Chain A
Amino acid sequence: MTDNQTQAALLARVAEGDKQALAALYKALEKPVFRFIRSRLNDSFEASDILHDVFMEVWRSAGRFEGRSKVQTWIFGIAYRKVIDAHRKRGRTDLVGETPDSVDDGPNAETCLASSQEAEHVRHCLETLKDDHRAAIAMAFYDDMTYGEIAEVAGVPEGTIKTRVFHAKKLLMRCLSGLVERRVPA
Chain B
Amino acid sequence: MTQNIEELLPFYANGTLDEPERAEVEAALAEDGDLRAELEVLLALREAMQADAVQSPGEFGLARLMRDVEGTEQEVTPMASPENVVPLRRLRVWQIAAALVLAAGLAQTVFVMTAPDQPGFELASGGGATQGEAAFVVGFAPGTSEAEMRDLLLTAGVEIISGPSALGLYELAIFDDAMAESAAEILRAAEGGIIDTFEAMATD
Total A-B residue contacts, Cβ distance less than 8 Å? 188
Q: How far is the CA of A78 from the CA of B52 in the complex (A)?
A: 23
Tell me whether B105 is interfacial, beta carbon within 8 Å: no
A113 to B37 Cα, complex, angstroms: 12
- For B75, give its contact among A22, A55, A64 (CB under 8 Å): A64
**Which 7 residue pairs across A and B have the least CB separation, nearest first?**
A119-B52, A162-B7, A34-B56, A146-B16, A141-B46, A144-B14, A77-B167
**Contact residues of A between 146 and 176, Cβ < 8 Å to B:** 146-147, 152, 155-157, 159-160, 162-166, 169, 172-173
> Using Cβ atoms and an 8 Å threshold, which residues of chain A touch B66?
19, 22-23
Closest to A126 in B: B49
| Chain B residues engaging chain A, CB cutoff 8 angstroms | 3, 6-8, 10-11, 13-16, 34, 37-38, 40-42, 44-58, 61-62, 64-66, 68-69, 72-78, 88, 91-92, 119-122, 137, 139, 142, 164-169, 196-197, 199, 203-204
Residue of A67, A109, A116, A147 with most partner-chain B CB within 10 A: A147
Query: What is the CA–CA distance of A61 and B49 in the complex, to the nearest angstrom?
Result: 32
From A26, A62, A120, give the contact of B74 (CB < 8 A).
Answer: A62
Q: How far is the CA of A106 from the CA of B38 in the complex (A)?
A: 8
Within 8 A of B (CB), among A48-62: 48, 51-52, 55-56, 59-62
CA distance A181 to B53 in the complex (A): 26
Number of interface residues of A (CB under 8 A): 74
Is B169 touching A110 in the complex (CB atoms < 8 A)?
Answer: no
Interface residues of A in 22-40 (CB under 8 A from B): 22-23, 26-27, 30-31, 34-35, 38
Q: Is the CB of B45 within 8 A of A38?
A: no
Q: Using CB atoms and an 8 Å cutoff, list the residues of chain A in contact with chain B.
A: 15, 17, 19, 22-23, 26-27, 30-31, 34-35, 38, 44, 48, 51-52, 55-56, 59-69, 73-74, 77-78, 81, 85, 105-107, 109-110, 113-114, 116-123, 132, 137-138, 140-142, 144-147, 152, 155-157, 159-160, 162-166, 169, 172-173
A137 to B14, CA, bound (A): 11
